Structure 1
Amino acid sequence: METPFRVLEIGTTPQLLIDDYAVEDVWMIRRSPEEPVKYLGNPIFPAGDTVIYDEEEQLFKMWYGIGIPGTFEAKGAYAVSADGLHWEKPELGLVEADGSKRNNLIETTGFGSVLKDPHEPDPARRYKMMTKRAGTPESEGRAFAAFSPDGIHWKDHPGEKSILRASNDGNGMVLRDDCTGKYINFRRTTVLAGGRGVLPEDIGFPDPRVMKGAGGDRLGVPEGIGFPSEDDFEAYEEADEYIHRYLRPAPHVHTRTLRIFRDTHEGLGCNRRIARSESDDFLHWTEPEVIIRPDELDPPRLYSISVARYLGVYIGLLELYDSCGNRRAPGTPQESDTIDIQLVFSRDGWRWERLASRPVFIRRGVIGAFDCGMLRPVNPPFMVLGDEIRIYYYGHGSSHNIPSSNQGLGVARLPKERFVARVAGDEVGALITKPFRLEGGYLQINANAAKGLIKVEVTDPFGNPIEGFSAEDAAEIRENGFRMPVRWTCGKRLSEIAGRVIRLRFYLYRSRLYSFVVDAGR
């Protein structure tokens, strides 16, 4: 029988209730993120940029950058682990450092995000890296490519040809979209609304090369220009009047440099928006297009993002850079220059949503913890291991502009499919799905009803209960489980109405509902 409603074809794919893709309406129901549980043994490693689990080799692999003293450049390094918690640095014998090749350095010009691509037909390009090269005018603001057959032996893309415009201090992350077959690069990009910005000449610098220190490679007024002394740049007197009139200079006790705090020019000329580019071959990319901007609830700067596609949803961990101290969490020492992580999600990778209350997804640590100042997700943002979602993140024990040795790679965990819950409290809430074609005969839910209950009703597309599948017929669910079966007391089975267009109406009381799936079996 035809229906006047748009019908979802969900098949037997688990439906996350993170957004309203499968949800028609709710009553007395709110969304709430599940808080990841941090591993008690954190930090597990001093660094980390890309962490994957190689199913083919049954091995965890990590790539990370090691800074070269006195420059903005980094060399790549490689580590492996059997469990993802205890890591080893293999002696690769590829790059000489401190007079020896007995190290885990990999040979690339620059370093960046790594992707293992099982769909690549050329074995020599099975691993891909989007790199940043610093130190030359030709490479500033550009991204480059490198390829490897094994993730260890790398070869730069021929010549000095860059593949994409990039921010000066980062290339973001790359993934291959199995749905479209395209490569996607998510990165931060320039704030265009800031007008002309503040060029070096505006503050008395005749040449951008004199801008050194943290952020010194950007055009604009960075927070930590980092001049060790007056003798290290020309036109000091000309710049001094501007600095003291518009900025608040203060001694930077950690690096013995001049740290500059901005009173004005918020956002001018900096890279604090999230953009997306696409490519069919990893070499020819579309121009970055802004997809996420801060709004009235955000601090003015979005630092970066890491994204993965999971059960039809693009899920991202978004970095919010609070340079104004607007989001200080209780027990944390920093009032400004912190970075927190928020959960974002999208069905197409272009239009993104966040929870209305904008909760922090992973909390920064307490005072003195390795992650009390900044949290930054690695690439990819998470991986699914059995019944667990594992999240690797990089923590800093200081704010954005203060170097600290108290930092490292951390791990946090979630139960499978439990990013966001639909939650009911002391009043019974209801959620009804959009109409979908029933292609299986066994309904299961991922939920926590250990302190409450959940009942499920099956209706026709107009919301009328189907005989034998009403709320009165539904068995109560009072447990916490990943794949809990839904039953009806009269003995009815969904297989009896397979092929029909139906809705599901969930009744929740003091419970959390994460997902549902219609299984073809049983």
Structure 2
Amino acid sequence: MGGQTAIEVGNRKQLFIDRRFIEREHGITLRVNPPVKAETIALRPEKPWEVMRTGDYTTVIEDGGVYRMWYDAFVGLDRYQEVPRALAYAESTDGIEWKRVNVNLFDWRGHRENNIVMPGGDGCVMRDPNGKPDERYKAVVAIFANSLWPESQGAHWDLSGGAVYLCTSPDGIRWKRVDQPASPMFHDSQNNLLWDDRIGRYVAYLRTHERGRTVGRIELDDPTQTPWPFRKPPADVKPNEHGLYLCATHGEYDIALATDEMDPPDTDVQTCPIVKYPWAQDVYLGLCALYRHYSETQPGVFRNDGPNDIHLVVSRDGATWTRPQRKAYIGLGPLGGWDAGCAWPILGMIRRGDEILQYYSGTSHTHGDYTPETVGQGGVRAVRQRLDGFVSADADYHGGALVTPLLRFDGSKLVLNVDAGATGFLKVEILDEADRPIEGFSLKDAVEIDRNQIAAEAAWSSGKNVGQLAGRPVRLRFSGRGFRLFAFQFEQS
């Protein structure tokens, strides 16, 4: 332990999404905490421009007190060939119930009153904190060229190949396309772009195909400067007749997410929208749809069919990812239900007080099972998560303890997000660089914390204040029984 450099936590919140703050432990398990599905199923397919399904590649943000959603309205390739899908718009006052907003921009087969903002568009939206007024919103989209939306002319996307484009907007409603593709590759999935304030750059996550379906990552200084640079040129892939490449399969992008030998055979990453969690330090979260392909030998199915559900992936830098537990974060519903076949993750989250709302869309059918009986049975649903509650360091009824690495903090009080229930408890001891209890902050001085608290303040019977330790390297020792510890933060009183 000698010579260890202290982690500078300052007064920023720290989450137990991984073992970064666990130097040693006994009786502690990191557990993923699945959210609770809301009762309401919103935006069921009920309009002519979304008869196949709603959801898929969808974004939710809070924007100046307004909850906004851009969702994939899917008609189906065999229903209206010119515009098989569109990006549509909805708003909500509570994040649970969503209403379509008529924007009256395009005439959809005689329907002018509709919520379509991007005919032929298919992708995810971000609100750029650095964007110019006319480029405040950005979207990474695949575009089916069509006669309704002039900006789509010259774009190309179909099953023979395609490209993804950057579109910009002043308001999230009226969109323009950057002429040159962002990437001339066939990124068939939920591609997303974010501003990473930790590194001061934009980061794009794109579908790649190096080991089945994977997620590639690229850093950008200015996403409007297209095409985006490859890590290595796609020299081994021949372009199609449109000059576009089929798939990113040969190292064109750094691979951020892929399945591994611990996953079932014939399973890959279908989609994974990624956010940088704004209410803690260095926390990146991804909702990763794992797609298990049915075997070709199964009667009545083909290779691109099978179910997918949603797993949580976490990162400290947005580049290296781990799965805290190999279990579904948002699972499938009961067989026969609206979300029994596939659960599709939605980009974004909303904070309401001490609750986080995340989202998914569902279908009753599996990935490739497009039958008349399964058309129009999907929808969008919120899931409720405790603030910071994605992963916790848990001690069972027999007890456990963990010790952090050396930390250096600012502040005069220590606040914990913890659930100990009625029969559990948690105590905090503070240790010096030599791993010795600091007088007045020892385990015997620690006051028990019980029940379920988002912001429980640690206290000691000595009456001492942690402010006297600010700036000094210390370790925290959390011990007790029957607790779930989600986060800690030093704050000013």
TM-score between the two structures when normalised by the length of structure 2: 0.82
Q: List alignment gaps of at least 5 residues for structure 1.
A: 193-270, 326-335
Residue in structure 1 matched with residue 213 of structure 2 by the alignment: 272
Work out whether residues 45 and 87 of structure 1, in 8 Å CA contact, stay in contact via their aligned partners in 2.
no
Work out whether residues 42 and 97 of structure 2, in 8 Å CA contact, stay in contact via their aligned partners in 1.
no
Cα shift at 1:448: 0.7
Q: 1:497 aligns with which of 469, 473, 477?
A: 469
Distance between the aligned counterparts of 2:43 and 2:456, measured in 1?
34
Distance between the aligned counterparts of 1:491 and 1:171, measured in 2?
53
Q: Which amino acid aligns with 1:286?
A: P
Residue in structure 2 matched with residue 27 of structure 1 by the alignment: 26
Q: 2:406 aligns with which of 411, 416, 435?
A: 435
Cα 1:30–1:490 shift into 2, 3 Å: same
Cα shift at 1:29: 0.6
Cα 1:138–1:44 shift into 2, 3 Å: closer
Distance between the aligned counterparts of 1:389 and 1:499, measured in 2?
32
Q: Which amino acid aligns with 2:5?
A: R
Cα shift at 1:286: 3.2
Cα shift at 1:44: 5.1
Mean Cα deviation higher: 468-477 or 80-89: 80-89
Q: 1:374 aligns with which of 336, 342, 360?
A: 342
1:401 aligns with 2:386: no
1:38 aligns with 2:48: no
Distance between the aligned counterparts of 1:296 and 1:442, measured in 2?
44
Distance between the aligned counterparts of 1:162 and 1:53, measured in 2?
25
1:60 aligns with 2:60: no
Work out whether residues 187 and 208 of structure 2, in 8 Å CA contact, stay in contact via their aligned partners in 1.
no
Cα shift at 1:369: 1.9
Distance between the aligned counterparts of 1:406 and 1:155, measured in 2?
32
Q: Which amino acid aligns with 1:52?
A: V
Q: Deviations over 1:232-268 (max 9, x none)?
A: xxxxxxxxxxxxxxxxxxxxxxxxxxxxxxxxxxxxx
List aligned pairs for 1:106-505, cutoff 5 A. 106-107=117-118, 110-120=121-131, 122-134=132-144, 139=157, 140-158=161-179, 161-167=180-186, 169-191=188-210, 271-283=212-224, 284=226, 285-287=228-230, 288-299=253-264, 300-310=267-277, 311=280, 312-324=282-294, 337-355=306-324, 357-380=325-348, 382-403=349-370, 404=374, 405-450=376-421, 451-505=423-477
User: Which segments of structure 1 move beyond 4 Å, counting only runs of 4 or more?
Assistant: 135-139
Cα shift at 1:43: 4.2
Distance between the aligned counterparts of 2:42 and 2:99, measured in 1?
15
Distance between the aligned counterparts of 2:379 and 2:93, measured in 1?
19
Residue in structure 1 matched with residue 301 of structure 2 by the alignment: none
Q: Which amino acid aligns with 2:107?
A: E
SS of corresponding position for 1:495: helix
Distance between the aligned counterparts of 2:260 and 2:61, measured in 1?
35
Cα shift at 1:490: 1.8
Distance between the aligned counterparts of 1:137 and 1:60, measured in 2?
30
Distance between the aligned counterparts of 1:425 and 1:76, measured in 2?
46
SS of corresponding position for 1:365: coil
Cα shift at 1:137: 9.5
Work out whether residues 397 and 424 of structure 2, in 8 Å CA contact, stay in contact via their aligned partners in 1.
no
Distance between the aligned counterparts of 2:476 and 2:43, measured in 1?
44
Work out whether residues 117 and 175 of structure 2, in 8 Å CA contact, stay in contact via their aligned partners in 1.
yes
Q: List alignment gaps of at least 5 residues for structure 2.
A: 46-53, 146-153, 231-252, 296-304
Work out whether residues 138 and 167 of structure 2, in 8 Å CA contact, stay in contact via their aligned partners in 1.
yes
Residue in structure 2 matched with residue 76 of structure 1 by the alignment: 87
Q: How many residues align?
A: 426
SS of corresponding position for 1:501: coil
Work out whether residues 418 and 484 of structure 2, in 8 Å CA contact, stay in contact via their aligned partners in 1.
yes
Q: Deviations over 1:342-371 (max 9, x none)?
A: 11111111111112x401111211122211
Distance between the aligned counterparts of 1:107 and 1:301, measured in 2?
29
Distance between the aligned counterparts of 1:272 and 1:77, measured in 2?
26
Q: 2:59 aligns with which of 51, 55, 61?
A: 51
Q: Deviations over 1:296-322 (max 9, x none)?
A: 121331111011112211111111001
Work out whether residues 430 and 508 of structure 1, in 8 Å CA contact, stay in contact via their aligned partners in 2.
yes
TM-score between the two structures when normalised by the length of structure 1: 0.77
Work out whether residues 143 and 171 of structure 1, in 8 Å CA contact, stay in contact via their aligned partners in 2.
no
Work out whether residues 313 and 323 of structure 2, in 8 Å CA contact, stay in contact via their aligned partners in 1.
yes
Cα 1:276–1:504 shift into 2, 3 Å: same
Q: Which amino acid aligns with 2:17?
A: I
Cα 1:168–1:134 shift into 2, 3 Å: farther
RMSD of aligned alpha carbons: 2.2
Work out whether residues 350 and 357 of structure 2, in 8 Å CA contact, stay in contact via their aligned partners in 1.
yes
Residue in structure 2 matched with residue 209 of structure 1 by the alignment: none
Percent identity between the two aligned chains: 32
The structure having more radius of gyration, on CA atoms, is 1
SS of corresponding position for 1:64: strand
SS of corresponding position for 1:164: coil
Cα shift at 1:472: 0.8
Q: Deviations over 1:181-223 (max 9, x none)?
A: 322221221135xxxxxxxxxxxxxxxxxxxxxxxxxxxxxxx
